[in-house]
Amino acid sequence: MSLMLDIKKIADTTAPNLIRSIKMDDIKNWKDLNRDSPISQHLYFDELDDHMTGVSIIAFQYNLDYPDVPKGCMSISPYYYFSNQYYRCYNPLLKELSLTGKIKILKDTHLKSLANLSGIGYYGKNSIIHNELFGSRFFMIALGVYEEIDWNGLNLEASDCSSCKLCVQACPTQALDKPYVLSRQQCLRHYMLTGVEVPEEYKPLMADRLVGCDICQKACPKNIKESGLEKMPDYDREVFHIERYMVNDSSRFNQMMPQLAEWIGKNYARANRVREQCNIIYSNIKKGGD
């Protein structure tokens, strides 16, 4: 079977998807000619090697609709739920394929630049990639490829937002005031489960969110079209009720992490970070009169 068929089969097993592949020579030539562009400055080749013929980007679609949040519970963005579920599906299969020496799973590459160049989508003013098919409701991975396959040409359009500014206006912290450039220090997501100290003025704006914000994505007209995909399951009160996390006993707190990891993945379900975010959420829920 051809390599692209192998990759497509794994992607189809995981979720609805879009795959674009670009040649290494095209990427390098483009970078040489566009050294001053912001996209070019994000393209780095540390993980890519001389034997790679190119890179394939896979976008996996998911449903961004949140379930209702039960009283006294915290919420998570469906992005984290689905990326965790999808990872469990594709990762063992791709690892197996990588053992053949035909691909390498790239872990430290700038996905958005490659996605834009490959035609997976355009940069939005919210600095997220979107396309007509999925909006911005997708999760991406990149594979280095070691064979000649059918390549896509480079996409040279950076954005299709035109005069729209809905995401810029919707952001509660003005993190998008410089369009296409996210001010990380002003983005609520930057402070959730990352270990970075949260500025006092941002704490109330986090409301009941454990991880994820999505306000700028929900405002985007590219995401209006129904995805037709299943929504994330209802929040399990056993996992998301905030009172459960208000315990001083560290070992009891640690014991709750595997259950939470089922929803958001092990990388995010780290006790010290979850505890900090839970304290913020608890205070917000109490102030809200729960």
Using CB under 6 A as the criterion, which residues of the chain lie in contact with ligand SF4 when the complex forms? 124-126, 161, 164-167, 171, 173, 175-176, 182, 187-189, 213, 215-216, 219-222
Rounded to a whole number of angstroms, the minimum distance from the CB of residue 161 to ligand SF4 is 3
Tell me how far, at minimum, the Cβ of 225 lies from ligand SF4, in Å: 13
Residue closest to ligand SF4 when measured from CB atoms: 124
Q: How far is the CB of 160 from ligand SF4 (least distance, A)?
A: 7
| Between 199 and 258, CB nearer to ligand SF4 | 199
Smallest gap from Cβ 82 to ligand SF4, in A, equals 17
Our CB check for ligand SF4 shows the closer of 188 and 232 to be 188
CB atoms within 10 A of CB 85: 17
Phi/psi at 221 (nearest 5 deg)? -60, -20
User: Toward ligand SF4, which CB reaches closer, 214 or 276?
Assistant: 214
Residue 67: which H helix or E strand, with range? none
Q: In sequence order, what are the beta bridge partners of 116? A: none
**141 vs 175, beta carbon nearer ligand SF4:** 175
State both tokens at 55: 């890179």
Residue nearer to ligand SF4 on the CB measure, 10 or 175 = 175
Q: Which long-range contacts (CB under 8 A, 24 or more apart) does 128-135 make?
A: 128/216, 128/217, 130/220, 130/222, 130/223, 131/18, 131/59, 131/222, 132/222, 133/18, 133/61, 134/16, 134/18, 134/59, 134/61, 134/227, 135/64, 135/217, 135/220, 135/222, 135/223, 135/224, 135/225, 135/227
- Reduced to 3 states, what is the DSSP secondary structure of residue 168? helix
Closest distance of CB 170 from ligand SF4, Å: 6
